[in-house]
């Protein structure tokens, strides 16, 4: 009998309603990038995951760095933001390390990763300096799109268009998945991670805007495995 992995349920319907120019800019930017990604990758979900996870691992580290520097200058507490953002960056890097065992990036994709990383790092750094609120809202909207993309990936696997191969060892180790876990289980935990980042970043943006934040979905990172076990 198959060992079922512990995967938190994900609210797939979360969407932050645009309120003000900052949200509108963040949403417009996200939808433009979504259009570019859809055009370039179409249904090559493994390749799409690799390239986009190299981008997704940038904001957490930028946010952590700039929050750290701000707290040093102002000699104030970070309210846990720095650790949360660094955890996000590490988690996104683990998504990347997992998906390179599922699809191999082509040399064109490697060139795109190099090019996009320079532009995106600098652009996001500047955006965070100018408006941390908009920057977190951008990530919140990015993550809404990531949840949608991984839901499409699940449909590809469930309908047999992509093979449901065994989960890579690195993924089983990181998310503490059972020995017989499959790619489908990995996509489910990754999607739960993305939903968590979505809610955390929308929450940070709302906090900076001085409006109440909504709830945060459960995080399946290994650090939180004990909470998951208790809830099971």
Binding region for Fe ion (CB under 5 A): 53, 56, 92, 95, 143, 146, 194, 197
Provide the β-strand partners of residue 166. 182
Q: Which is nearer to Fe ion, 75 or 109 (CB)?
A: 109
Shortest reach from residue 52's CB to Fe ion, in Å: 7
d(CA 171, CA 94): 8
> In terms of DSSP H, where are the helices of 75-179?
81-99, 107-130, 132-158, 169-174
Q: Which is nearer to Fe ion, 51 or 132 (CB)?
A: 51
Q: Beta-carbon neighbour count of residue 144 at 10 Å?
A: 24
Shortest reach from residue 220's CB to Fe ion, in Å: 12
| Chain centroid to CA 76 | 28
Shortest reach from residue 95's CB to Fe ion, in Å: 4
Shortest reach from residue 171's CB to Fe ion, in Å: 12
Q: Is 55 left (phi over 0), alpha (psi -120 to 50) or beta?
A: alpha
Tokens 């100018």 identify what position? 130
Q: Which is nearer to Fe ion, 143 or 185 (CB)?
A: 143
Q: Which is nearer to Fe ion, 147 or 228 (CB)?
A: 147
Shortest reach from residue 139's CB to Fe ion, in Å: 8
- In angstroms and rounded to an integer, the radius of gyration of the C-alpha atoms of the chain is 17
Q: Which residue is nearest to Fe ion (CB)?
A: 95
Q: Which is nearer to Fe ion, 70 or 224 (CB)?
A: 224
Q: Is the dihedral of CA 216, 222, 227, 232 positive or negative?
A: positive
Shortest reach from residue 147's CB to Fe ion, in Å: 9
Q: Which is nearer to Fe ion, 23 or 92 (CB)?
A: 92
């Amino acid at each position: 009998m198959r060992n079922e992995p512990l995967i938190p349920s994900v609210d797939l319907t979360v969407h932050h309603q645009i309120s003000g120019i900052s949200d509108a800019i963040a949403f417009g930017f996200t939808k433009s990038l979504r259009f570019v990604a859809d055009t370039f990758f179409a249904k090559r979900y493994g390749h799409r995951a690799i390239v986009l996870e190299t981008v997704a691992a940038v904001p957490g580290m930028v946010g952590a760095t700039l929050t750290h520097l701000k707290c040093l200058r102002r000699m104030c507490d970070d309210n846990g933001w720095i650790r949360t953002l660094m955890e996000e960056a590490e988690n996104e890097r683990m998504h990347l390390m997992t998906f390179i065992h599922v699809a191999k990036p082509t040399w064109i994709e490697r060139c795109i990763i190099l090019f996009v990383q320079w532009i995106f790092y600098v652009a996001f750094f500047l955006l965070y300096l100018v408006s941390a609120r908009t920057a977190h809202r951008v990530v919140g909207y990015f993550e809404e799109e990531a949840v949608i993309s991984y839901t499409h990936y699940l449909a590809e696997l469930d309908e047999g268009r992509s093979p449901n191969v065994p989960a890579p060892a690195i993924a089983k180790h990181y998310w503490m998945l059972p020995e017989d876990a499959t790619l489908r289980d990995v996509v489910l935990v990754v999607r739960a991670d993305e939903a968590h980042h979505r809610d955390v970043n929308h929450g940070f943006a709302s906090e900076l805007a001085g409006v109440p934040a909504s709830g945060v979905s459960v995080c399946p990172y290994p650090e939180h495995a004990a909470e998951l076990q208790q809830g099971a």
